[in-house]
Chains A and B, each alone.
Chain A
């Protein structure tokens, strides 16, 4: 398949601060997930490929054309920014039709495209309300609507799922997947691994301004699986539970919590650990109050991978 977006040695510094370093990528049609903790350089990358900022070194091409200052190309790109910012004194309808006007459509086209986009994000009933009266989820959907209303071939979404309730997330994930079926190129950034996993198998891991890994979700998962996980279990008999787990070879460390009611386990095989834990709970009729994973976040995984 031909790459739609190509970056070569793309780097960006903000004064002395590194935003992005030496990123060379080829992105093909379909959904690509851009995964990284906050401040990793995801937004910088997306701003560079949408021509909002100029690279310090390197270049970006979309459909083989340079991006920065290429107005004709912008008509083929839809961008959903991360920030929850709008022209608050506009209604949803005016906001959408205004941006379509800037795209250069005729009045009739503006009406029909705005109607279609509002139908897609299910905001038609609220289109005449002021944006400042919208809920966070509605605002997020409106932001998405403006990115797709002009039917772009490349859709770039910066954290589109943040602020949405679970149902809203599911709907948006379904929508994004539908764009993949249409052969469009979609880039979605997120710092939440399950969100990206739900969208695509094709992931770019970005950290401290560098592309850390790129590939299929299984490859990324394999990298992550080697990361030792901490699991905290609060129960009525933590010492009895510790005794049951102590003999397993995938348990690396065991600690007791300061309250004496919890046990903290470090394991290098989370799936096997949970399988054994569940069977032990059932077999020994243990009373479990809470199971939490203190380091179950992307930052911890990245810290581990980078330090490896």
Chain B
């Protein structure tokens, strides 16, 4: 018989669950969710344009899975999940501080770390819902003529997994930025479009300092063609290690976010 978890831990998990329930509801109904929902559907519009062009130009275009991997997937991987995770991740802590609603949460019988974990989980589920829906639609549109091919769905599952892992890791990193820095969006943008975009192309072990390196390690090797430079990877890490690293990054930054949020005193003005 498994021993039951200690009361303190169960109560902590209960608190995380309650925070999750409150902020999942709030996250779903927030105005910014509507905005980011449309934003994450931009690749669907691009996919539709490509598909219509293929149909009406009567020229045999690139096959759907090729375009999906090289254009749409990269659109998601290098732009959409970064932006969505940046705004939701930083808001886990900073929206309470900037909105001066923090005292409503920290005067309740819940641990401060439960606030971070509950909100992070709630916003991650909201992000996953938004982004995966767009990805599936794009996939279906670009592969309309091959929808009965079962091998395609394995590929789709892999892509979905990569996006979910990306949202989790980036979300945790940006939660940490939001808990520790005042101008977290600015530094988040620097990280997303500076660090991540540059470091991944450094040779040797430097490339392993970018989260996107581990995400790209799950993608199939880039097929040859004029778009292949987009999926260019130097030396991919093995999928097992990449998965471990992404979980470790997520756990480490979440732990740091919890630590900062528990110890730091926000809004000190009288």
List residues of A whose CB falls within 8 A of some B CB: 14, 19, 38-44, 47, 50-54, 71-75, 77, 79, 81, 83, 85-87, 89-90, 94, 98-99, 101-104, 146
Contacts and interface: CB of A to CB of B under 8 A. Distances in A.
Contact of B107 (A51, A85, A94): A51
B158 interface: no
A41 B26 contact: no
Interface of B: 14-15, 18-19, 21-22, 25-26, 29-31, 99-111, 265, 268, 270
Contacts of B101: 85-87
A16 to B, nearest CB: 13
Contacts of A79: 103, 107
Contact of B110 (A43, A89, A102): A102
Given A19-B270, A39-B270, A53-B265, A99 B106 contact: no
Contacts of A14: 268
B126 to A, nearest CB: 14
Given A85-B99, A89-B26, A89-B30, A41 B270 contact: yes
A101 B109 contact: no
B59 to A, nearest CB: 48
A143 to B, nearest CB: 9
A162 B101 CA distance: 18
Contact of A50 (B29, B31, B99, B107): B107
A102 B105 contact: yes
A41 B270 CA distance: 6
Nearest to A50: B107
A101 B21 contact: yes
Given A52-B103, A81-B103, A101-B21, A71 B110 contact: yes
A39 B270 CA distance: 6
A51 B121 CA distance: 26
Contacts of A40: 270
19 contacts: A42-B270, A43-B270, A47-B103, A50-B103, A54-B265, A75-B109, A77-B107, A79-B103, A83-B103, A86-B101, A87-B101, A99-B104, A101-B18, A101-B21, A101-B22, A102-B18, A104-B14, A104-B15, A104-B109
A98 B22 contact: yes
Given A53-B265, A85-B99, A89-B29, A103 B109 contact: yes
Contacts of B18: 101-102, 104
A103 to B, nearest CB: 6
A58 to B, nearest CB: 16
Given A41-B270, A146-B104, A71 B109 contact: yes
Contacts of A90: 26
A102 B19 contact: yes
Given A53-B265, A104-B18, A74 B26 contact: no
Nearest to A156: B107
Nearest to A81: B103
A100 B31 CA distance: 24
A99 B100 CA distance: 15
Contact of A52 (B19, B31, B107, B109): B107
A74 B22 contact: no
Contacts of A94: 25
B268 A53 contact: yes
Contacts of B14: 104
Contacts of B19: 102
Given A79-B103, A102-B18, A104-B18, 18 more contacts: A14-B268, A44-B270, A52-B102, A52-B106, A52-B107, A53-B268, A71-B109, A74-B107, A81-B103, A87-B99, A89-B26, A90-B26, A98-B25, A98-B26, A99-B108, A101-B21, A102-B105, A102-B108
A98 B104 CA distance: 10
Nearest to B106: A52
A102 B33 CA distance: 23
B181 to A, nearest CB: 18
A83 B109 CA distance: 21
A81 B109 CA distance: 17
A43 B268 CA distance: 10
A146 B142 CA distance: 51
A81 B104 CA distance: 8
Contacts of A81: 100, 103-104
A104 B25 CA distance: 17
Contacts of B108: 74, 99, 102-103
A43 B267 CA distance: 11
Nearest to B32: A89
A73 B108 CA distance: 9
Contacts of B26: 87, 89-90, 98
A81 B101 CA distance: 9
Q: Give the one of A39, A77, A87 with max B CB within 10 A.
A: A87
Q: Give the one of A42, A77, A83, A102 with max B CB within 10 A.
A: A102
Contacts of B268: 14, 19, 53
A6 to B, nearest CB: 19
A304 B46 CA distance: 72
Contacts of A51: 106-107
Contacts of B100: 81, 83, 85
